[in-house]
Amino acid sequence: MKLPFSKKRGMMAVTALIMLSIMVVTALSTAELAMLQVRGTRNISNLQQARQAALSAIDYCLYLTSIDAAWRQSKGSGVWISNYAVGTAQVSVSAEPDGGEIGDPAGKVLFTATAAAGQSSRTVQAQARPRSAEVLQYLLCGLTDSKMELNGQVKLYGDIRAAGRIESDGTASLKGNIYAARPDWVQPFFWDSDTTVITYASPADPPPLNIAWYRARAQEIVLPNAPDNSLLLSRQMLTDTANPYGPAHPEGLYYMQVSNAQVVLEHCYITGTLIIEGAHTVTIRGGYRHRPASNNYPAIITTGRITIQISDALREAEAAKDFNSDGDTQDVFMSRIDGLVYCGKKFTGFNAAGYNGEFRMHGAIIAGEIRIADGRNCWITYDPALADALIPGFQQSSLAIVPGSLQ
């Protein structure tokens, strides 16, 4: 049966309305999806901007440490940057010590940067640490333009650096390179198959040594006067557990303040760091054994001169001390110094006249001037661990990101 025309037209209208409704719903869904995609793209873009802003702000904080050597005191812990605009983002950065205290010149710092862009935000953390000072890369490093003298058959294993001439009596041997201000300032007999003379553009910067930092942490000791009015540490054992002049320091840090006097160290067994301020000369003589209690500290720091005059092995019987706690006083130790030795003025070594026994140093020597007068049976070797060591006062003031710490 055929439908009347009016009814056919009604059915067509209903069908058209249904199709139109479907098209409207589809269009609305497509528009909403498009808006979600735009919003998602915008959110992704904002997240990327926030992350880049946070990274940039941390880089800026590292830059601040490179232009302000006293940043640990001037900035310290807390907020370094607050609501700083980086592109379309706002970022804040705070710093806190990552173990220890932020005033530690070799301490690590944890930076936390929070950045917001639009409705998105990111937080980025990174650990930063100072880098070792250049002077720690060398076995011998002379800081002034005074000549460096290497005499008496001394055997050197490591690179040396001098701001002045390097001279020798021709008996010294070197396994390493020479960094010199001018190549013609190095005597030719140092040049052999395993030595290269490298000319540097500028002298090595003195380390940013802060004696006050050590003074504040160390145990002060006062030495007795010898008959010649020198201050004498003789036949003693000084370690992180033993101090004949007071409480032992758990890190073996011992400080002496003297007034232009001579300090004499003889027949001693030392496991620790000696910080000697104000001495005219520190003389090490007799038998002597010394190393720091921790590789994070030097063996000796002095603002004056150092003269080493080894004349014997270190004998327990001579000192009437049981240095190695084995229950007797019959042991004999080869005289030796391990670790970093810093001398603000002239360093002179090693053997006393007439002594032909062995003496060894393993570490590095940094001094205003270096003169090895008698190196018979003396071996001086570089400790490569120093190149990356974080020794307070012997690092760059600026910070660098610890690899793998960014999160």
Question: 80: Cβ–Cβ under 8 A, 6 or more apart, which residues?
Answer: 61, 64, 93, 94, 95, 111
* 173 and 116 housed in the same domain: no
SS3 117: strand
Q: Is residue 390 part of a domain?
A: yes
- Please list the pLDDT of the chain residue by residue as tens digits (407 residues): 555 555 556 666 656 666 666 665 555 555 555 454 544 445 678 888 888 888 999 999 999 999 998 898 898 899 999 998 888 889 999 999 987 788 888 889 999 999 998 878 889 999 999 988 999 999 999 999 999 999 999 999 999 999 999 999 889 999 999 999 888 888 876 556 778 899 987 777 888 898 999 999 999 999 999 888 899 999 999 999 999 999 999 999 999 999 999 999 999 999 999 999 999 999 999 999 999 999 899 999 999 999 999 999 999 999 999 999 999 999 999 999 999 999 999 999 998 888 889 999 999 999 999 999 999 999 999 999 999 888 999 988 889 999 988 88
* 201 and 240 housed in the same domain: yes
* 237 and 320 housed in the same domain: yes
* 115 and 156 housed in the same domain: no
* 123 and 155 housed in the same domain: no
* 244 and 113 housed in the same domain: no
* 124 and 11 housed in the same domain: yes
The two structure tokens encoding residue 223: 């030495």
Last residue of a domain, one of 97, 132, 167: 132
The Cα–Cα gap between 379 and 357 comes to 12
Phi, psi of 244 (to 5 degrees): -70, -10
Last residue of a domain, one of 132, 150, 173: 132
Q: Is residue 401 part of a domain?
A: no
What integer pLDDT is reported at residue 36 of this predicted model? 42
The two structure tokens encoding residue 90: 């706002």
* 224 and 263 housed in the same domain: yes
What DSSP state is assigned to residue 217? H
The two structure tokens encoding residue 215: 């003074």
* 279 and 297 housed in the same domain: yes
* 117 and 158 housed in the same domain: no
State the Cα torsion 212-214-218-222 to the nearest 10°. Answer: -60
Q: Is residue 108 part of a domain?
A: yes
Last residue of a domain, one of 115, 132, 149: 132
Q: Is residue 399 part of a domain?
A: no
Rounded to a whole number of angstroms, the CA Rg of the chain reads 34
What integer pLDDT is reported at residue 40 of this predicted model? 46
Q: Is residue 219 part of a domain?
A: yes
Q: Is residue 404 part of a domain?
A: no
Cβ density class 321-354: b for 16+ within 10 Å, e for less: bebeeeeeeeeeeebbbbbbbbbbbbbbbbbeee
SS3 350: strand
Q: Is residue 161 part of a domain?
A: yes
Q: Into how many domains does the chain fold?
A: 2
Full residue range of the structural domain in which residue 75 is found = 1-132
Three-state SS letters, 235-292: CCEECCCCCCCCCCCCCCEEEEECCCCEEEEEEEEEECEEEEECCCEEEEEEEEEEEC
The Cα–Cα gap between 272 and 28 comes to 78
The Cα–Cα gap between 204 and 369 comes to 13
Instruction: Report the candidate in 168, 180, 170, 250 with the shortest Cα–Cα distance to residue 217.
Output: 250
* 118 and 234 housed in the same domain: no
Q: Is residue 8 part of a domain?
A: yes
Cα-based distances in Å from 91 to 32, 68, 169: 32, 22, 62
The number of helix segments (H) and strand segments (E) in the chain equals: 4, 27
The Cα–Cα gap between 338 and 407 comes to 38
Angle formed at CA 160 by CA 157 and CA 163, multiple of 5 degrees: 165
* 125 and 248 housed in the same domain: no
